[in-house]
Amino acid sequence: LLAGNAVVFKPSEKTPATGEFLVSCLREGGVPEGCIRLLIGGPAEGKALAGHPDIDGLLFTGSARTGIALNRAFADKPEKILALEMGGNNPIVVWDSPDLQSAAVLIVQSAFTSAGQRCTAARRLIVDERLFQPLMAELTKLLDRMIVGDPHADPQPFMGPVIDNEAADLLTESFVTLMSRGGRPLRHMQRPQEDRPFLTAGMIDVTEMNDRPDIELFGPILQVIRTASFEDAIVEANNTRYGLAASLVSQNPALYDQFWANARAGIVNWNKPTNGASSSAPFGGIGWSGNHRPSAYYAADYCAYPVVSSEADQARALINIGLRDL
């Protein structure tokens, strides 16, 4: 819209009311009705919109599988803009940090805000094995106090539900699968009500697991990996096809310089959570997290195309070489 485009906005079929509310806010703010249209529907409607011959581009936020399918579909359409934001398997690294209470808070904020349903949520905690036990003790204190409930509950909860019962079923099965493949539960994820999609925060040590699955578990599951050296921690942080967000919790600026220079991610934070980002900065990642078209601040640039013009107020031209004399 900022770049002068008209937009057809299709929210997820699981959040139609949120999409309708956003469009109503834009119209109330003065955006003409013809410049922003709302399409409610599921995969069939999304596929039809993506394949429509009259769109100039597509900005997609969603799963890596769908994003890769769109990338293939647009392979023979170089004239159309395609911007993909496909989530992440994001690491938060704790190293050389004397304030483990603050480190635990940053981990909880990264992994369990919005019940872990953010593309930038921390999925993997990578920790110096010497800090593992005391850090787990601090995390346990916080998780013991964490309230899970509906938005209007009193006292106010830290975590609400995951999106639906189907997602809750999948996450529960995923936690069991991690255990069956060698993961050691540090805190079992529980479902207080079988017919509701509320889950408690789960943590599992996957250090000894062979062939850890490189997937985005979109919910409150945190996988923990212990390493003996900071170099190994960076290797583990980059051990993913994704590349959206990464954070380092450390009091050592030299370690952050090393981390920033070597982390494969579009968002690299220091003593901050993995999630949360300013719209005044670019937002996006690499690998299975994006296709080098970060959203937020940069989106207005790639939603237009540059035009170069060489101009003069009067036509004046001479050819001095290569012509026969009159």
Catalytic residue positions, numbered: 85, 119
On whether the CB atoms of residues 214 and 242 are closer than 8 A, the answer is yes
Radius of gyration of the chain (CA): 24
Other beta carbons within 10 angstroms of residue 160's beta carbon come to 15
Say how far residue 242 (Cα) sits from the centre of its chain: 9
Tell me if 118 sits within 8 A of 275, measured CB to CB.
yes
Q: How far apart are CA 38 and CA 55, in angstroms?
A: 15
H or E stretch including 73?
A: helix 64-73
Element (H, E) at 107: helix 100-112
Q: Which amino acid would we find at residue 174?
A: S
Cβ atoms 7, 37 nearer than 8 A: yes
For 176-325, list the strands marked E by DSSP: 184-187, 202-205, 221-227, 245-249, 267-270, 282-283, 295-296
Residue type, 31: V
List all residues 6 or more positions away from 247 whose beta carbon is below 8 Å from its beta carbon.
90, 91, 92, 93, 106, 110, 122, 268, 269, 270, 271, 272, 273, 274
CA distance 204 to 165: 22
Angle (CA) 232 113 143, round 5°: 80
Q: How far is CA 235 from CA 116, 228, 231, 263, in A?
A: 24, 12, 6, 9
